[in-house]
Amino acid sequence: METIEAQEAIIPMPRIGDKAPSFQAVTTQGNINFPDDYMGKWVILFSHPADFTPVCTSEFMTFAHLEDKFGKANCKLVGLSIDGLYSHIAWLRTIKDKIEFNGMKNVEVKFPLIEDISMEVAKKYGMIQPGESKTQAVRAVFFIDPNSMIRAIIYYPLSLGRNFDEIYRALIAMQTADEFAVATPADWYPGDDVIVPPAGSCGTAEERMAEQNGEVECKDWFFCTKKLAEKEVLETVLKN
């Protein structure tokens, strides 16, 4: 039995660039061994405050509706709240049988929803932010890559439903950055110009400005872009 001190020990919040903390959990789709079960795939691990609450219900229906779209980008969804398995099951049944939202109805949530009554996983992932709630997880979104590295984290407060276009955009932008060795500017969507890596030396900076050859266009030596067709992006990242 853990002492109270051990239970309350401060766990550092995982950060971008860290390996995703591992855990085993019971979910609505059986037991999972995280992140090992997801090696080779992107994962969006997200928390919500509680079952049977309206904002969470709207989010779950939206995520379930988009599950195939995320799947085509080699990305699995895994949800979590500090509720028990039977609450999760009852809530997901209610969503399917009774709730209509934004034109969606009879929505079946097929991705795993973790039961985390002990808060073990929520604490490991910094999902309990006591200034917001001591007993409910905030709306966290962890983007975990195929090597189980945390690549991006977004947090929202309890009252704010997430923007799923942004979650999908961020996933595709990170995959594009990996596949094409580029960065993506503000508000980038597939088809928009991408940013080429910065010049690593004064010589290269000079050359870049002198040799703008049609492919690369520089606003200044440190800010160079090139075209990357939407078709090329989508054919590369939507392999499944």
Secondary structure (H, E, C), the chain: CCCHHHHHCCCCCCCCCCECCCEEEEEECEEEEECHHHCCCEEEEEECCCCCCHHHHHHHHHHHHHHHHHHHCCEEEEEEECCCHHHHHHHHHHHHHHCCECCECCCCCCCCEEECCCCHHHHHCCCCCCCCCCCCCCEEEEEECCCCEEEEEEEECCCCCCCHHHHHHHHHHHHHHHHHCCECCCCCCCCCCEECCCCCCHHHHHHHHHCCCCCEEEEECCEEEECCCHHHHHHHHCCC
Contact between 49 and ligand BEZ per CB under 6 A: yes
Q: Is 75 an active-site residue? A: no
CB 118, min distance to ligand BEZ, A:
20
Task: Compare residues 71 and 84 and give the one whose CB is closer to ligand BEZ.
Answer: 84
Q: Is the dihedral of CA 207, 208, 210, 215 positive or negative?
A: positive
Contact between 54 and ligand BEZ per CB under 6 A: yes
Contact between 50 and ligand BEZ per CB under 6 A: yes
CB 218, min distance to ligand BEZ, A:
47
Contact between 56 and ligand BEZ per CB under 6 A: yes
- Dist CA 95 CA 30 (whole Å): 20
Contact between 190 and ligand BEZ per CB under 6 A: no
Contact between 195 and ligand BEZ per CB under 6 A: no
Contact between 53 and ligand BEZ per CB under 6 A: yes
Task: Compare residues 51 and 145 and give the one whose CB is closer to ligand BEZ.
Answer: 51
Contact between 131 and ligand BEZ per CB under 6 A: no
Contact between 79 and ligand BEZ per CB under 6 A: no
Task: Compare residues 53 and 129 and give the one whose CB is closer to ligand BEZ.
Answer: 53
Q: Which pair of structure tokens corresponds to residue 31?
A: 């037991």
Could you say which of 99, 152, 154, 158 contacts ligand BEZ (CB under 6 A)? 158
Contact between 99 and ligand BEZ per CB under 6 A: no
Q: Which pair of structure tokens corresponds to residue 18?
A: 């860290």
Contact between 3 and ligand BEZ per CB under 6 A: no
Among 56, 75, 202, 218, the one annotated catalytic:
56
Task: Compare residues 135 and 212 and give the one whose CB is closer to ligand BEZ.
Answer: 135
Catalytic residues: 56
Give residues in contact with ligand BEZ (CB under 6 A).
49-50, 53-56, 136, 158-159
